[in-house]
Amino acid sequence: MARVLVLYGGRSAEHPVSCLSARSVLHALGSTTHDVLPVGITTDGRWTLTDGAIPAVTDGTLPQVPDDGPTAALVTTTDGPELVVLERDGTLTRRGRVDVAFPVLHGPGGEDGAVQGLLATVGLPYVGADVAASALGVDKAAMKGRFRLHGLPQVAYVAFEHGRWRREPDLVRDELGRIPLPWFVKPARQGSSIGITRVDDPGELADAVAAAAAHDHRIVVEEGLTGLRELEVGVLEQDGHVEVSCVGEIVPANRFYDFDAKYVTPSRLDVPADVDPGTATAIDEVARRAFDAIGGRGMARIDLFLADDGRLLLNEINTIPGFTEASMFPRVWAASGVDFTALVERLLAAARA
């Protein structure tokens, strides 16, 4: 048995998605012997001890961390990391030593190494990637550059700063001229398809860049190949031993796999995917190489494209994959013989090891 700190919410635009992921993780932990401390991070960054009761999506309304609870903080003591709580009446109480943290955070401020650095500073073991791998995994530009150095196959892309776009848009457009339309314009450090626009005509580019820049000053434009199948696998790692799940396939409910198709109008998830053994073997190899390329640890979800001509293209890696009811990561592991509770237990064991 361990005392587990579950962190969720956060300042990023993926705050509600994090809440939904945490809802599933807390439910799984409820069937174990662990002592669980659910701590939500409000949209303005305050840590608060919650009752762990997170509502499901209702009529398209997504959950948020309530802002009326006591303030929580981690401190380092001679006995190790402890959680302290400032009650609403001003009383300061200790909730005791914490053994391991499970960050169920998506996007900037939670998936980018910031929280991981804090947890490492107080000496608290935590689930998932370390600071460096988290920073690489959340930044599509840095991640794709890393993949390129490792010779991994990808779609064509261009990355640039929003400031450069404002100064010299014509030069940026010239660079983009080598990438065939359509384009997908994305904020570099944002997930859940937030801020992404499909561009079918160059005249749509300025609005798409503005939409992405609302979430990040670093922007990535990718080639939008047609006729692609969207495939995903999960990765688990402990003590250097890496396992890759079976393959899952996403059939988007909308024109592309946008936020609505992920969380509001669920897309079809085919698990396991209908792929031939040779393709499955190639996916396994690419997933392992991608995980190694960023120095992955603990877990990851690897997203890939399969073209009509048989080409396998690496899309991205997610160091804190979704754990929601609509998420692929727990589904591919369930199909690989690791149910949700066992998955959570394995992640906690890997963190403590």
- Residue reference for tokens 């804090």: 118
What pLDDT, on a 0 to 100 scale, did the predictor assign at position 93? 85
- Identify whether residues 199 and 244 lie together within a single domain: no
The answer to whether the pTM exceeds 0.85 is yes
Residues, the chain: 353
DSSP string for residues in 225-277: -SS-EEEEEEEEEETTEEEE---EEEE-SSSSS-HIIIIISPPEEESS----H
What pLDDT, on a 0 to 100 scale, did the predictor assign at position 255? 61
Domains in the chain, number: 3
- Identify whether residues 42 and 106 lie together within a single domain: yes
For residue 39, being part of any structural domain is answered with yes
User: Residue 256: pLDDT band by 50, 70, 90 thresholds?
Assistant: low
Average per-residue pLDDT for the chain: 92
For residue 31, being part of any structural domain is answered with yes
What pLDDT, on a 0 to 100 scale, did the predictor assign at position 189? 79
What pLDDT, on a 0 to 100 scale, did the predictor assign at position 337? 97
Check residue 184 and report its DSSP letter: E
- Identify whether residues 34 and 183 lie together within a single domain: no
**Which residues are registered as beta bridge partners of 185?**
197, 221
The 10s digit of each residue's pLDDT in 75-109 is 999 889 999 999 888 899 877 899 999 999 998 88
Contacts 24+ apart (CB under 8 A), 112-121: 112/138, 112/139, 112/189, 113/138, 115/7, 118/74, 119/74
Among residues 223, 248, 267, the one where a domain terminates is 223
- Identify whether residues 279 and 144 lie together within a single domain: yes
- Residue reference for tokens 């980018």: 112
Listed in sequence order, the residues at least 6 apart from 65 whose beta carbon sits closer than 8 Å to its beta carbon are 8, 9, 15, 19, 40, 41, 42, 43, 48, 50
The 10s digit of each residue's pLDDT in 173-209 is 999 999 999 999 999 877 657 788 999 999 999 999 9
The 10s digit of each residue's pLDDT in 59-77 is 778 899 999 999 999 999 9
**Which residues are registered as beta bridge partners of 316?**
303
Among residues 223, 245, 262, the one where a domain terminates is 223
- Identify whether residues 143 and 262 lie together within a single domain: yes
Q: Which domain holds residue 193?
A: 157-223
Look at residues 19, 87, 104, 8 and name the one whose alpha carbon lies nearest to residue 298: 104
What pLDDT, on a 0 to 100 scale, did the predictor assign at position 144? 95
The more confidently predicted of residues 216 and 25 is 25
Q: Where are the beta strands (DSSP E) in 162-228?
A: 183-187, 197-199, 218-223
- CATH classification at residue 312: 3.30.470.20
- Identify whether residues 147 and 186 lie together within a single domain: no
Q: How many CB atoms lie within 10 A of CB 16?
A: 22
- CATH classification at residue 58: 3.40.50.20
